[in-house]
A and B are shown apart, each in its own frame.
Chain A
Amino acid sequence: MSGATRARPVRPATVASFAVLVVLAAVYLGPLLTVVNVSLQTRQEFSLNPTAIVGQPQLTNFVTAWNKANFPLYLRNSILYTVAATSLYILTAVFVAFPIARRYVRGSGFLFSLFVVALFLPYALIPQFQLMLHLRLYNTPVGYTLLFLVDPIGIVILVNYIRSIPRELDEAAAMDGSGYVRFVMRVIFPLIRPALASVIVLHAIGIWNEYVTPLIYLTKKTYMPITRGLMVFYGQYGNDWTTLAAAILMLTLPIAALFLVLQRWIYAGVLQGSVRG
């Protein structure tokens, strides 16, 4: 046995690990720093040497980008769609997951399997499009939100988690005279918080990151979320990297800030989902 005492000097393995992490962090920060640098350059500086660090940073690009597109609007839309769709979804999802998990409805097993197979179903893009056309919901915020009111994976996660909650709670509450709705809202919701957190986070990230759905369904700029809004801006001003970089940064900063505030929940959510899912 070597070195029985656990000394606290820095081991070479630790230094090496830290060095690797620093290099990786550089790989992760590098592209973003490029954006920062370019956003502070003038067009001439950029066409001469895009990588040169700015000598005199200037903020005109931000003003230009702000004036040319309504980024706060896009950000607001992303938040609204995500929040609205996720909240409505959660509300309906718990009332689907709970009776299935408890077998309070006939055919629970069959219904559950309908959700389990969802991962392996054919791509629904085309009939969904036809559906939206026929429902006259094309290019409407309501229609767009509608597309995100379902998430079968979430149901599976919730059902699995609810099954771990003792059935005696139900019986006890019923005997105390509690109604079904009351019980679910007051007792089940708080108890499944970890699973809820994970479903909320996974679902929200999915909606937040959608690019193709707004590409197909939203043609009015005022309805667009950031994913689409930024690409539309890129289509019109793609030749102007300095302005574009400023636009990218203007969207990155609030998102990063939001993330830093919510990160603990986000990590917890991703984690919980993985354990049960």
Chain B
Amino acid sequence: MRHAFHFGGRGSRFVPYLLLLPGMLLYLLISLGPSLATVFYSFTDASGLIGSPTKFVGLSNYREFLFLGQNARDNAEVLVRTLEFSVLVTVIQTGLGLFVAALLNQRLAATNVFRTVFFMPVILGVTIVGLTWTLFLYPLGGPAQKVLALLGGHSEFLGGPPFQAFLWVTWVQIWANMGVTMIIFLGGLQTIPSELVEASRIDGASGWQSFRHITYPLLTPSLNTNLTLAIIGSLQAWQLLLVMKGVTNGTQVLGLIIYAIAFGRTVQNPTAVAMRQGYGAAASVVLFVLVLIIGMTAQFLMRRRERRVLG
């Protein structure tokens, strides 16, 4: 249904269409089109090299990625790790962000300084953050190693057992992005009238009780935003992993594997590995299905809670 367009004479009816076109075309060309094309690509054995003989192979890429030999287990591990990453990042980042926002909301001294310090990593970017922490975790006597030595331990940190390295990178991811979560919660907290909280305190409620029954429910919109951003974002975030760990077994998530397959970078065969973009496209579709399922479920649950809590 269209609404009456009042601007200009009879001839300018098409003006909004015309001006809509550049943005729309760009979106179709660069974003929507390629996203859909991924699905078609996944049914070919395209290498990605222009001039490579390509043929249609149906579902064999999917069969290979999900079911062939040990791929089933290795890729399932990657899927699980992607989920682990997402859950850890979402839960801890959101929790920490809420905690810090609640602390800062008390209008203590130097709030601005703290806020700046916590938000800085968001601005510094993935490379600076990744390299800074790599230095901090330097196993040959870096600060983290020194602290651990005081407690009598030794670790290779990022160079040790993959699960351990993975946890470290997850921590850095949380550390780096907590600032955004914190700001969003701060904004949400500031919309809650302080009279409500004060009234409850006067009525004898403890700090924790007033938080749980008044503040927290009213924070639902901010919470939902943060959760959505964190869930979807973390399912697709792997740049930090690439910077800090590179392409190594045991620390990859699905996004990273897709890149490695598509651009000829795998651990198994570092020097002569060929690009396999058809196969990579199939892995992309698998990730898409994962995001779809988790994202939609999360959205559904959040909306339901929002209705219940806020009425």
CB A55 to nearest CB in B, in angstroms, measures 17
Bound-state CA distance A25–B277 (Å) is 44
For residue A265, CB closer than 8 A to chain B, the reply is: no
> What DSSP secondary structure best describes chain A's contact surface?
helix
Q: From B281, which residue of chain A is reached at the shortest CB distance?
A: A126
Please give, as numbers and ranges, the residues of chain A lying within 8 Å of B187 by CB-CB distance. 271, 274-275
Bound-state CA distance A123–B255 (Å) is 9
Please give, as numbers and ranges, the residues of chain B lying within 8 Å of A14 by CB-CB distance. 106, 108
Please give, as numbers and ranges, the residues of chain B lying within 8 Å of A205 by CB-CB distance. 122-123
Do the beta carbons of B108 and A51 come within 8 Å of each other? no
Do the beta carbons of B136 and A149 come within 8 Å of each other? no
Please give, as numbers and ranges, the residues of chain A lying within 8 Å of B3 by CB-CB distance. 102-104, 167
Bound-state CA distance A28–B117 (Å) is 7
For residue A92, CB closer than 8 A to chain B, the reply is: yes
For residue B215, CB closer than 8 A to chain A, the reply is: no
Please give, as numbers and ranges, the residues of chain B lying within 8 Å of A31 by CB-CB distance. 132-133, 135-136
Total contacts A-B at CB 8 Å: 280
Query: Within the complex, which residue of A95, A171, A259 is in contact with B6, where a contact is CB–CB below 8 Å?
Result: A171
- How many residues of A are in contact with the other chain, CB < 8 A? 103
Please give, as numbers and ranges, the residues of chain B lying within 8 Å of A150 by CB-CB distance. 26-27, 30-31
Do the beta carbons of A227 and B135 come within 8 Å of each other? no
Do the beta carbons of B143 and A130 come within 8 Å of each other? no
A216-B117 CB under 8 A given contacts A21-B103, A92-B26, A127-B38 = no
Bound-state CA distance A147–B123 (Å) is 21
Q: From A38, which residue of chain B is reached at the shortest CB distance?
A: B135
For residue A7, CB closer than 8 A to chain B, the reply is: no
Please give, as numbers and ranges, the residues of chain A lying within 8 Å of B113 by CB-CB distance. 25
Bound-state CA distance A8–B72 (Å) is 64
Do the beta carbons of B103 and A17 come within 8 Å of each other? yes
Bound-state CA distance A152–B226 (Å) is 18
Residue-wise, chain A 81-98 has the 8 Å CB interface mask toward B (1 for contact) of 000000000001101101
Do the beta carbons of B38 and A227 come within 8 Å of each other? no
For residue A57, CB closer than 8 A to chain B, the reply is: no
Instruction: Scan residues 31-45 of chain B and give those whose CB is less than 8 A from a CB of chain A.
Output: 31-39, 41
For residue A24, CB closer than 8 A to chain B, the reply is: yes
For residue B142, CB closer than 8 A to chain A, the reply is: yes
Residue-wise, chain A 236-277 has the 8 Å CB interface mask toward B (1 for contact) of 000001001100100110011011100100110011001101
Do the beta carbons of A256 and B142 come within 8 Å of each other? no
Please give, as numbers and ranges, the residues of chain A lying within 8 Å of B2 by CB-CB distance. 103-106, 108
Instruction: Scan residues 164-181 of chain A and give those whose CB is less than 8 A from a CB of chain B.
Output: 167, 170-171, 173-175, 178-181
Do the beta carbons of B23 and A241 come within 8 Å of each other? no
What are 15 contact pairs spanning A and B, CB under 8 A? A1-B204, A18-B108, A21-B100, A51-B141, A95-B20, A96-B27, A105-B16, A120-B296, A122-B35, A124-B34, A131-B30, A174-B8, A205-B123, A210-B239, A245-B135
**A interface with B by C-beta (< 8 Å):** 1, 13-14, 17-18, 20-21, 24-25, 27-32, 34-35, 38, 49-51, 92-93, 95-96, 98-100, 102-106, 108, 111, 114-115, 118-131, 133-134, 146-147, 149-150, 152, 155, 167, 170-171, 173-175, 178-181, 183, 205, 208-212, 215-216, 226-228, 230-231, 234, 241, 244-245, 248, 251-252, 255-256, 258-260, 263, 266-267, 270-271, 274-275, 277
